[in-house]
């Protein structure tokens, strides 16, 4: 009689296999070497680095422009190009943890650092405390855009990207006299500062700054020279205030260039024919007392007439604005500016055009 083969369940077989593997493992000689955990060494290394570099554990916010320049060669170049004298007081904006500050302290009589982040201020104080230059440093924990700067001879700073434009405007149009400002800026922003008429990057920023200052390119700086690494490269520029500046109201100048460069590649004729801009200038000229204009006289007449005052006022305003637009165009034609584009004009050209408007009783405001 034939016997049926016996089949072992797969579960039973797996259990037997595990038991045999365990027995073989038990027969192996045990190592006398103690257990080694690689993560323990990593932790000790982090603690050691923190002691040697106390600012290294700070969380830096890219959104606030907290990118610290760490390349020592670039830092040395910035200090050397700044041409600092031993009698100078240097204003540094956004010193961070002091990579540039400690080098400035070695050559300047005094450094005034303006830093809004209290964590950075603490690290900066601790870093300088151990040096022989502690008495040369004054730290202001304030917003650089809102605080009034004390006296200074030079500005040397790694400017946070987010405040570059208003800060440069504050420096060049401010009341503090100074010799130069050596600034580390976002590369694209620096290119805009350096642009000349006819360049694709030429813009209102360059026009306004170059009215009162000269801008010199020093060098580009790779984004890899910063911690944390930003998305774009940077550039070092030097801004030097001009000894002689035009006799012009800076507030009106900025409003005038804002109007001209609203569409920098449009002709000035097209810009000053826009209904919204015409009405804005017309109402402002009316408010400043240019009563000699026929447009204003038409506007004044509605008060002595019968009928719907509101309807008449609207009609008179539209008539006055139309006459005022003709006046704007006549001024542009008289100076040969009607077909000119702002992106091609020099500061001398723009100053001449503004003077033509002012002579006709037309002023600008922001």
Yes or no: say if 160 and 120 are a contact pair by the CB < 8 Å rule: no
Query: Would you say 196 is a known binding-site residue?
Result: no
- Ranges of beta strands (E only) in the chain are 68-69, 89-93, 110-114, 137-140, 154-158, 180-186, 213-221, 226-227, 234-241
- Report DSSP state, residue 270: H
Query: Would you say 55 is a known binding-site residue?
Result: no
Yes or no: say if 226 and 68 are a contact pair by the CB < 8 Å rule: yes
CA distance linking residue 32 with residue 352, whole number of Å:
91
In 3D, which of 140, 212, 215 has the Cα closest to residue 176? 212
CA distance linking residue 123 with residue 324, whole number of Å:
60
Which residues, at least 6 apart from 113, have a Cβ–Cβ distance to it below 8 Å? 92, 93, 95, 101, 124, 137, 138, 139, 140
CA distance linking residue 239 with residue 181, whole number of Å:
5
Q: For the residues of 106-158, what is the DSSP string, one character each? A: HHSSEEEEE---HHHHHHHHHHHHTSTTGGGEEEE-S-TTTSPP---SEEEEE
Query: Would you say 174 is a known binding-site residue?
Result: no
Query: Would you say 292 is a known binding-site residue?
Result: no
CA distance linking residue 253 with residue 251, whole number of Å:
5
Query: Would you say 40 is a known binding-site residue?
Result: no
Query: Would you say 67 is a known binding-site residue?
Result: yes
CA distance linking residue 84 with residue 276, whole number of Å:
50
Give the residue ranges of the annotated binding site.
67, 69, 94, 115, 143, 158
Give the residue ranges of the annotated binding site for S-adenosyl-L-methionine.
67, 69, 94, 115, 143, 158
């Amino acid at each position: 009689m034939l016997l049926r083969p016996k089949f072992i369940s797969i579960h039973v077989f797996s259990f037997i296999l595990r038991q045999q593997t365990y027995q073989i493992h038990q027969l192996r000689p045990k190592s006398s070497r103690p257990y080694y955990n690689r993560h323990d060494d990593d932790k000790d290394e982090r603690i050691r680095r923190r002691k040697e570099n106390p600012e290294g554990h700070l969380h830096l916010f890219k959104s606030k422009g907290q990118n610290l320049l760490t390349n020592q060669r670039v830092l040395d170049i910035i200090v050397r190009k700044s041409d600092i004298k031993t009698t100078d007081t240097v204003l540094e904006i956004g010193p961070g943890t002091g990579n540039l500050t400690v080098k400035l302290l070695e050559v300047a009589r005094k450094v005034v650092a303006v830093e809004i982040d209290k964590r950075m201020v603490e690290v900066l104080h601790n870093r300088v405390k151990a040096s022989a230059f502690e008495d040369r440093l004054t730290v202001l924990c304030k917003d650089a855009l809102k605080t009034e700067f004390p006296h200074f001879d030079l500005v040397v700073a790694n400017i946070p990207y987010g405040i570059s434009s208003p800060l440069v405007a504050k420096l060049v149009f401010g009341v503090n006299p100074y010799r130069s400002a050596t600034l580390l800026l976002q590369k694209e922003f620096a290119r805009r500062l350096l642009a000349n008429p006819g360049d694709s990057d030429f813009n209102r920023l360059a026009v306004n700054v170059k009215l009162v200052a000269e801008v010199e390119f020093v060098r580009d700086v790779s984004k890899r020279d910063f911690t944390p690494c930003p998305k774009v490269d940077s550039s070092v520029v030097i801004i030097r205030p001009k000894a002689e500046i035009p006799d012009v109201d800076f507030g009106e100048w900025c409003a005038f260039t804002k109007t001209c460069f609203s569409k920098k590649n449009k002709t000035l004729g097209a810009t000053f024919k826009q209904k919204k801009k015409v009405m804005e200038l017309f109402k402002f000229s009316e408010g400043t007392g240019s009563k000699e204009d026929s447009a204003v006289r038409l506007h004044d007449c509605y008060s002595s007439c019968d009928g719907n005052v509101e309807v008449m006022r609207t009609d008179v305003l539209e008539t006055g604005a139309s006459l005022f637009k003709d006046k704007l165009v006549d001024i542009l034609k008289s100076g040969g500016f009607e077909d000119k584009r702002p992106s091609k004009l020099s500061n001398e050209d723009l100053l001449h055009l503004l003077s033509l408007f002012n002579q006709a009783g037309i002023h600008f405001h922001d």
